[in-house]
Each structure stands twice: as C-alpha cells, then as structure tokens.
Amino acid sequence: MERKYIEQMKLHAGMSVGELVDEMGKAGVFGAGRINRAVEIYETIVSDTESLKVMGVAGALVPGGLRRIIRDLVKDRRVNILVLTGANVTHELVEASGWRHEKGISSVGDAALREMGINRIYDAFVRNEAFEGLESRLREYFASIDENRRKNGLGSYELFRELGLMLDDDESILRTAARNGTLVLCPGIFDSILGLHIWIFSQQNELRVDLRRDLQKIIDTYFQSKKISALFLGGGIPKNYILQAAMLTGRALDYAIQITMDRPEPGGLSGASLQEAQSWGKVKPEAEWVDVIADATIAFPLIVAATLERLDRKQDELKVE
C-alpha cells in the first residue's frame, strides 16, 4: 500500500476559510479530514448539473443562525428539494413575520424564564410574543388560501408555496423557494407549533394537509432524476424521508454528506452512518459519501464557505485561460 503522510497544518494571519480547509485536507485525518472531504463532495454536487440536490434539515438550525445560508443556497438554485422539520419551518415563519430569536445563556433558571415569557433552546431565546403574533398571522395566511384548495387538501409543499408568496421578507427561505420553484417538504408538519395552528384553524375552517401528496411528489421527482445527491444537517424525519424515497424508487444516492452529533451504537437513524444506508439500498455502493461528526452550526458554514471559494477560484482560472 502506498504511503501517504500526514502534513501538519500551517496557519497564517488573514487566511481564508478555503485556505484553512485546504490545510485540513493536507492533514487529512480525523474531523479535519472529513471536513475537507465534505467540501470535495459538495463541490462535485453543486457542479453536477445532472444531479437532483436534496437537503434535509433537522435540529434547531434556524434559531442556530443557519437560516440565511440555507436561503442563499435556495436562491442560487443549489437546492432542488428541501426537507425540513416542523420546528424549523415554525422558526422560519417567526423570522419571516418580523420577530427575532435572541442570544441567551444556557445556565439560567428556566422557571424564571417561564415567568418572563421566554422559551429557551439551549442558549437561544424566543419570546412568547413571537409565537402569539405568529398565531394571529397564520390565521390570516390560512384564510387567504382559496377555500376549495383548503377543502380538497394541499401537500405541505403546496401550503409552503402559498405561504411563501404571502411573506414580505427577502431573507425568507419559504419566500425564496416559492419564487424559485424549490420544493419544500415537511413530513412531520404536525409535530410542531405550526402543525398545532393548522389543527386549531381547521376546527372552524376548511384546511386539510394531505401528506400523501408530498410523498407522491418526491417519488415522482426521484424517478425523473438521473442522479441524486443529499446533504443531511442532523437526522430525524428529514433524513429518513429522503432515504426511504431513494430506497422505494431504486434511485440510491450518488453523493451524500451527513453532519451529525449522534452516534450509531444505539441503533437510531440519526446516528446511523451513510455506509449503513448502503445495506438498505439507499446509498449506492460506489457513491461518494462522508459522515462529519460535528455541530452543524460549525461544520456547515465551513463546508459551504470553502466550497464557494473553490468554485470562485475555478471560475477565475477559467477566465485566465
């Protein structure tokens, strides 16, 4: 076997994110090596015009500050299908409707926060007034949708397109997706505050969300695609939804990147390796894949920034030629 030596990373003042990741790649092992490998694969994904680009987002990543990065990827058409948890859609709607998440602290009395009307997500805070205001706004949004459509049932992707076109926030993921034709799916929509408000509205008004339409849509889209790539931020429902559609359609993933803090030993899907997914026919044996064991709020911005830098670098090289 050919010997490949680990190069010690070299840093200098003013180096770019791309240069930092290049140094990680020269070392090439442990978490640093996986970050670099993720950038290599993601650059391939973004550049492959034949590949359907799917992203799964679980965890509190909108409150964690990743909303604009995801929105920019949607805007630049580097995502074709976005699968979100109901919580991330809820927090996206909070921001899109004019409220904000706040910096807090983790070591605080939660009973006291309750008295203050503050909800804690580790060291991020969101106030009750945001959810109360969103409740009122959602009633207006739902009522604005054609009653016949509400009665006949909408897939979550159809509901989000309607909502996205109503939002007046250029930083909104849903608004950008609606304008770009990006498919946004939420298979666990009722497992969220948004889902609760859909149910509350439906007690006195017609509003059916038919998740079978979502499944039909993603299956049809997979069948129409030559290649499929996936970027998983966390696991949960989004990860399983993306992978089960690959298994059902026989369109196993050609490229896959997973960023997770979960472990495989307990047997849960969120910590399962992408290699394990090959046994289910969800990831091709010859696929390019990597598991990055890291906090997505750290790893995802590094991977995206370094990938964009490499793409710009290649564009500059082509101009010189």
Over the stretch 42-89, which tens digit does the pLDDT of each residue have? 999 999 999 999 999 999 999 999 999 999 999 999 999 999 999 999
pLDDT value at residue 318: 72
Contacts with 26 (C-beta within 8 Å, 6 or more apart), sequence order: 7, 9
Q: What is the pLDDT of residues 210-222, one digit of tens each?
A: 999 999 999 999 9
User: Pick the catalytic residue: 75, 239, 282, 284?
Assistant: 282
282 classed as catalytic: yes
Per-residue HEC secondary structure of 276-290 comes to HHHCCCCEEEEEEEE
pLDDT value at residue 320: 67
Q: Is the pTM of this model over 0.85?
A: yes
Q: Please, which pLDDT band fits residue 317 given cuts at 50, 70 and 90?
A: confident
Are the C-beta atoms of residues 205 and 150 closer than 8 Å to each other? Answer: yes
| Structure tokens given for 264 | 């495989």
First to last CA, the chain: 37
